[in-house]
């Protein structure tokens, strides 16, 4: 019997554990679900005869090493910075590891040791990163097999609210870690366009957007991710003239979010004095010029040049309650933490709400002397608040990769991301059984 250890039983693991438990008897698996919260782990184990739940602190080295040593494969669903100690123990005891997180420099440095230990450490096998790699490489390899010359690759992903649950003027609700949403894009974004390196500083990021249309779901706007350039090497596209990765929102979101950036409300580098006694209104006013005769609302409009007749834009901020005398109650909080607190009152999914993942790729290439373009899109909706679209698209690829490693389908040891055909083909094929599929179509090319 193969023993699987899952570390972390948060919201993104529901579909992962459901898949493993459903297949446990057939595949001869026993699953241990470990989390700081015994209650969460127990809920995930669901009284299954081939599973157990335990309370677990990953910083307890003695317990961590014991559990890893007793397992055949470890799935780490911890925050990204906590994977390394788990990976080092997996190498020490010769155990495979799977995670949905980006490969950090520290993880890359373990490649030789993982090879020497004969183990597979599969990373970036969630949704983004993960399904984006699988689906992109399928088309990229097809283009190469047909002797095509890829000139541009653009890819966008968004964790959004499903249309039937979209009932606010921002057309957005939190579907993953709110803190990551508030801090998104900080730093300088870089990409390549027509062989020219391009950079977007944070204070301009949300004004440099691209409109994307997805059949059946209308228009979205995309803003740049931090570093698109690193994916040239990952995808074997070192000489590609254009490479761009971005995040999707509904139109109008980015322009409004830009105001929070310009205001300074997304800054996480310092603490607001007396933040626990401050109100929402005072928080916003603290960033605006002093004027004893003008209201906070009027100063806000003047500061951002919001026209009197631009009711739709201003309503976004009124609806959030940022001008209300609601006490914040957070001690020693940064501006970003205060903004997150305010947004969580309005952008949290209601019990009956459904989320949605949208992914879209554009491939521009030359084949037999002709310019060609392919669009590939995926839309996945959640079933409910437990089996969300985010949980499905993160957890199911992790689960399928786990099965492939334990079955010997994936054999090559080392630190990996899922870009090989023998990995992406069976995973994409199986994901289709769960409604996770891509629609690929050739369109009139729009080279620039």
Query: What does pTM read for this prediction?
Result: 0.94
Is residue 20, in this structure, part of any structural domain at all? yes
Q: What is the largest CA-CA distance in the chain?
A: 75
Q: Cα(251)–Cα(377) distance, rounded to whole angstroms?
A: 18
Is residue 117, in this structure, part of any structural domain at all? yes
| Among the listed residues 183, 168, 161, the one whose alpha carbon sits nearest the alpha carbon of residue 321 | 168
Is residue 261, in this structure, part of any structural domain at all? no
Give the pLDDT confidence of 99-135 residue by residue, as tens digits: 999 999 999 999 999 999 999 999 999 999 999 999 9
- Contact predicate 113/337, CB 8 Å: no
Strand ranges (E), 8-93: 29-35, 51-55, 73-76
Q: Cα(92)–Cα(110) distance, rounded to whole angstroms?
A: 11
Is residue 59, in this structure, part of any structural domain at all? yes
Is residue 69, in this structure, part of any structural domain at all? yes
Number of domains within the chain: 1
Neighbours of 297 (CB within 10 A): 16
| Among the listed residues 126, 93, 121, 127, the one whose alpha carbon sits nearest the alpha carbon of residue 106 | 121
CATH no. for residue 46? 3.40.50.720
Query: Which DSSP letter does residue 46 get?
Result: T
Is residue 216, in this structure, part of any structural domain at all? no
Beta bridge partners of 54: 34
- Contact predicate 116/331, CB 8 Å: no
Q: What does pLDDT average to in each consecutive run of 10 residues of the chain (448 residues)?
A: 96 95 98 97 96 96 97 96 96 98 95 98 97 98 97 97 97 93 94 97 96 96 94 93 97 97 98 97 97 94 91 96 97 98 96 97 96 98 94 98 97 96 97 97 84
Note the residue count of the chain.
448
Half-sphere exposure of 233 (CA within 13 A, CB side): 3
Is residue 45, in this structure, part of any structural domain at all? yes
pLDDT for 310 = 87
Half-sphere exposure of 17 (CA within 13 A, CB side): 32
Q: Cα(181)–Cα(185) distance, rounded to whole angstroms?
A: 9
pLDDT for 11 = 86
Using the Cα atoms of residue 431, residue 245, residue 99 and residue 57 in order, give the sign of their dihedral: negative
pLDDT for 59 = 94
Q: Cα(376)–Cα(386) distance, rounded to whole angstroms?
A: 28
Alpha-helical regions (H) of 305-388: 311-320, 335-347
Is residue 57, in this structure, part of any structural domain at all? yes
Q: Cα(135)–Cα(377) distance, rounded to whole angstroms?
A: 9
Beta bridge partners of 342: none
Q: Is the peptide bond prior to 129 cis by the omega test (within 30 degrees of 0)?
A: yes
pLDDT for 78 = 94
Question: Which structural domain range is residue 76 located in?
Answer: 2-123
Q: Which helix (H) or strand (E) holds 300?
A: helix 296-304
Q: Cα(199)–Cα(203) distance, rounded to whole angstroms?
A: 12
Q: Cα(187)–Cα(133) distance, rounded to whole angstroms?
A: 24
């Amino acid at each position: 019997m193969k023993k699987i250890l899952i570390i972390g039983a948060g919201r993104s693991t529901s579909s992962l554990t459901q898949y493993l438990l459903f297949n446990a008897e057939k595949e001869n698996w026993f699953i241990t679900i470990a989390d700081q919260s015994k209650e969460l782990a127990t809920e995930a184990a669901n009284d299954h005869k081939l599973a157990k739940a335990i309370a677990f602190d990953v910083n307890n080295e003695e317990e961590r090493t014991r559990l890893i040593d007793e397992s055949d494969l470890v799935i780490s669903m911890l925050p990204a910075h906590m994977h390394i100690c788990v990976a080092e123990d997996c190498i020490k005891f010769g155990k495979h590891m799977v995670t949905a997180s980006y490969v950090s420099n520290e993880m890359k440095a373990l490649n030789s040791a993982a090879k020497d230990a004969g183990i597979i450490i599969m990373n970036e096998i969630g949704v983004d990163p993960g399904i984006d790699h699988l689906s992109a490489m399928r088309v990229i390899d097809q283009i190469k097999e047909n002797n095509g010359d890829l000139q541009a690759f653009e890819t966008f992903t968004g964790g959004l609210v499903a249309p039937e649950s979209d009932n606010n003027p921002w057309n957005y609700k939190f579907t993953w870690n709110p803190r990551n949403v508030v801090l998104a894009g900080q730093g300088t974004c870089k990409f390549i366009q027509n062989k020219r390196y391009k950079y977007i500083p944070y204070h301009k990021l949300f004004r440099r957007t691209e409109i994307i249309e997805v059949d059946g779901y209308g228009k979205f706007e995309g803003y740049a991710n931090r570093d698109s350039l690193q994916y040239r090497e990952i995808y074997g596209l070192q000489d590609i003239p254009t490479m761009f990765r971005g995040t999707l929102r509904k139109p109008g979101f980015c322009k409004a979010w830009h105001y929070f950036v310009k205001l300074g409300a997304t800054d996480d580098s310092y603490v607001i004095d007396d933040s626990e006694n401050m109100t929402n209104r005072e928080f916003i006013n603290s960033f605006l010029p002093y004027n004893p005769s003008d209201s906070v609302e009027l100063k806000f409009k003047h500061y951002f040049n919001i026209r009197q007749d631009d009711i739709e834009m201003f309503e976004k901020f009124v609806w959030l309650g940022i001008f209300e005398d609601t006490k914040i109650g957070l001690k020693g909080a940064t501006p970003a933490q205060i903004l997150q607190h305010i947004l969580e009152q309005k952008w949290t999914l209601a019990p009956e709400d459904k989320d949605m993942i949208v992914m879209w790729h554009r491939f521009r290439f030359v084949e037999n002397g002709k310019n060609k373009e392919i669009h590939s899109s995926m839309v996945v909706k959640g079933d409910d608040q437990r089996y969300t679209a985010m949980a499905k698209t993160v957890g199911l690829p992790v689960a399928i990769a786990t099965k492939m490693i334990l079955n010997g389908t994936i054999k090559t040891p080392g630190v990996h991301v899922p870009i090989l055909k023998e990995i992406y083909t069976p995973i994409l094929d199986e994901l289709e059984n769960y409604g996770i599929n891509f629609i690929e179509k050739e369109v009139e090319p729009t080279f620039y």
